[in-house]
Amino acid sequence: GSVTKIPLDPSNDWKIEVDQVQQAIQPSKTTYLVLNEPYNPAGTLMSADTQNRLITSARDNNLYVLCDEVYRWLEHDPSLRLPAMCDAYEKGLSVVTLSKPWGACGITIGWIATQDTELLDRLSDHQYFGTACPSRASELLAIMCLKESDRILERN
């Protein structure tokens, strides 16, 4: 397959232009969209309207939406936080890691969340071939971070 990149423009505050995304979708070839929300490194947040329009476009074209959400929970104004893509869209995937909002960079543990249980099973099967397991120390530190999640996220 091939990748179609849609550059973001600093003069537009690095915002996604939904019309450009819609024009780039090739009905017989495009299988998923990849987004980064909040955007790195600009920290720009998409609006709820933009998220809804992207989801509508994905739904209309039967596409998955893979959303890199590693900076989610670090928004300067929590009232602008959008729903995770895995919650907002039945074919949405949210990729999350402990390294950013929880400040646990050395742990290198993350996850993918989706409502699509069939896809999740397929991803789990692939994961077993690429990753044996995280270290026990990383597992324990991840558990400690998640148990104190509310306090850590509030502080960060």
| Rg of the chain on CA atoms, in Å | 17
Q: Taking the CB of residue 11, how many other CB atoms lie within 10 A of it?
A: 5
| Cα 70 → chain centroid | 7
136, pLDDT greater than 90: no
DSSP assignment of 13-38 equals: TT---HHHHHHH--TTT--EEEEESS
**Is the per-residue pLDDT at 129 higher than 70?**
no
Assign 130 a pLDDT band (cuts: 50, 70, 90). low
Q: What is the pLDDT at residue 18? A: 95
Question: Cα–Cα distance between 74 and 57 in angstroms, integer?
Answer: 27
Q: Name the DSSP letter for residue 106.
A: G
Is the model's pLDDT at 126 over the cut of 80?
no
- State mean pLDDT over 37-46: 77
In this prediction, residues 16-31 reach a mean pLDDT of 94
Residue 41 has pLDDT above 80, yes or no: no
